[in-house]
Structure 1
């Protein structure tokens, strides 16, 4: 099975390549700029059609949540029109598509876990653009699986885990919001789920098409997530810091952040027979890699 992934440097793309490395039946190809540019539909089509994949994983996206408030055209160009171009290219190549979306399609102002049938109600431009992308993908390619996820982190690039360890390397106390809740999701676990969905779509399983939630098992707030990162790092001799809990108003952001991003993954678990590990177990594994390899994070 040949899988083409849009985006070559992101957390999910790199994790997919790692996960597939020990599976000879899976050929994962990463396609990014300049060859595949979501601002250029012709380059998207040409790259996908030439690759002749069985499944396309639509992972590349505009993810600058705050900047999107000031440049909505850029966000929609990539997350909506770009996603549509990827879905169209996959359809022309006879391939199914796995499209990654976000918890930000929900307002996050209700208690409990969101399920797939809950009506979307995004409160920021990023969430609106991702919802538009979901709808475009579903309209263009009937062989689609849309996966909403949340709070993705890994040893790669800039994310919450690398940021926290970077800050802990230079200070004794870190202020972290405690009134936003969600499911920390290791990119490696997300990749495992994506590969299972891709296999089911390639095999023609009817139940594999549709919208699903896929995130780490269990939930916490950002402060609790930070404490777990520091506890695991300290255990291995890595950087650690005290967490001071604050509320969202103490960190005003350009874009609204959902207070409750918890997703129910029951539909995914039933359909694909797999559940992501407990987020604490995955956090332990990710932090161990970061400490062992001394993966740097931002210090400001």
Structure 2
């Protein structure tokens, strides 16, 4: 079986390539943007025609949430047009397309965790462009899984854990938002879930949107506290900075964020037997993030 990974230098793409490269039953083709620009429809057609992959995993995305507010064309090109090109190609090959999406497709106004049946209502360009990408996949490919996840972190790439460790070494005091809640999700766990879906996918009847994120649900403030607790215990930093809990209003940014990013993950457990990601376990190896 042939597997094509796009965005292989991103957090999830990197973990996925590392995971699949250990398997002898697969031919893995891992491309980053300099090798495959998914916004270039002709290049996508050419590469897919040459490789003829059985599975395409789209881990490529424009994820700079605040920059997206000013880089609108780039956001839609990568987050909408790229998935459209891959979906059209996957349909021609009858390939399975696994597409990674985000909690930012929701406005965050719901009190309970979001299910796949909840109506999206993105607040910023990033969320709007990612929702457009979901719709492009669903409308143009019959064998697909859209995997929504949240608050991704890992050893590779930029993320909240690395930012906290960096700031913790430089500053004695930090203000962290305490009124936005979600489920931090380890990139390696997302990669494992993608492999499970790839191996267990039974056909069009399992196509659809699925949620996968970590538990326990926390605020960014609570997440930061756990990061520094782990970092001090393992000797990554000598002492934790003082952390002050602040509100969203006290930390103005270009793009609005959902207050509630919690995702209900019961559907993916029912269909694929996938358990929720325990992000606390992933922090035990926090030395790897430094």
Q: How does 1:121-132 map onto structure 2 within 5 Å?
A: 121-132=121-132
Q: Contact (CA 8 Å) 1:184, 1:219: kept in 2 or not?
A: yes
Partners of 2:158 and 2:101 lie apart in 1 by 19
Rounded to whole Å, the distance in 1 between the matches of 2:65 and 2:214 is 21
Task: Report the aligned-residue RMSD.
Answer: 1.4
Instruction: Report runs of 4+ in structure 1 exceeding 6 Å deviation.
Output: none
Shift in Å at residue 145 of structure 1? 0.4
Distance 1:207 1:265 in 2: 19
Question: Residue in 2 aligned with 1:233?
Answer: 231
Cross-structure match for 1:289: 288
Is the 1:178–1:222 Cα contact (8 Å) retained in structure 2? yes
Give a deviation string over 1:29-57, Cα, whole Å, max 9, x none.
21122231123111122122222211100
Asked if 1:89 corresponds to 2:89, the answer is yes
> Does residue 1:174 correspond to 2:186, yes or no?
no
DSSP-derived class of the 1:65 partner = coil
Q: Secondary structure at the match of 1:245?
A: strand
3-state SS in 1 of match to 2:98: strand
Alpha-carbon contact 2:69-2:124 (below 8 Å) kept: yes
Aligned pairs for 1:146-225 (under 5 A) are 146-201=146-201, 204-225=202-223
1:12-161 equivalences in 2 (<5 Å): 12-161=12-161
Q: Indicate conservation of the 8 Å contact 1:213/1:265, yes or no.
A: yes
1:199 Cα offset (Å) = 1.6
**SS of corresponding position for 2:29:** strand
The normalised TM-score by structure 2 is 0.95
Kindly indicate whether the alpha-carbon contact (under 8 Å) linking 2:101 and 2:149 is maintained by their aligned counterparts in 1.
yes
Deviation at 1:88, TM superposition (A): 1.3
1:136-179 deviation line (CA, Å, top 9, x unaligned): 10111110100000000001121101101011111222211001
Distance across 2 between alignment mates of 1:189 and 1:241:
29
CA contact (8 A) 2:39 2:85 kept: no
Could you tell me whether the CA contact under 8 Å between 1:207 and 1:271 is conserved in 2?
A: no
User: Does structure 2 retain, via aligned residues, the 8 Å contact 1:99–1:147?
Assistant: yes
Aligned length: 288
Question: What is the rounded CA distance, in whole Å, between the counterparts of 1:284 and 1:28 in structure 2?
Answer: 30
For residues 220 and 49 of structure 2, the distance between their equivalents in structure 1, rounded to whole angstroms, comes to: 41
Q: In the aligned structure 2, how far is the partner of 1:86 from the partner of 1:54?
A: 13
- In the TM superposition, what is the alpha-carbon distance from 1:68 to its structure 2 partner? 1.6
- For normalisation by structure 1, the TM-score amounts to 0.92
Do 2:178 and 2:220's aligned partners in 1 also have CA atoms closer than 8 Å? yes
In structure 2, list runs of 5 or more residues that go unmatched: none
Deviation of 1:18 after TM superposition, in Å, equals 2.0
Residues 1:207 and 1:227: Cα distance change in structure 2 (over 3 Å)? farther
Q: Does the CA-based 8 Å contact 2:213-2:277 persist in structure 1?
A: no
- SS for the counterpart of 1:227 is helix
SS in 2 for 1:212: strand
Cα distance change, pair 65–277 in 1 and its aligned pair in 2 (3 A): closer
Alpha-carbon shift at residue 206 of structure 1 (Å) = 4.2
List gaps (5 residues or longer) in structure 1.
296-300
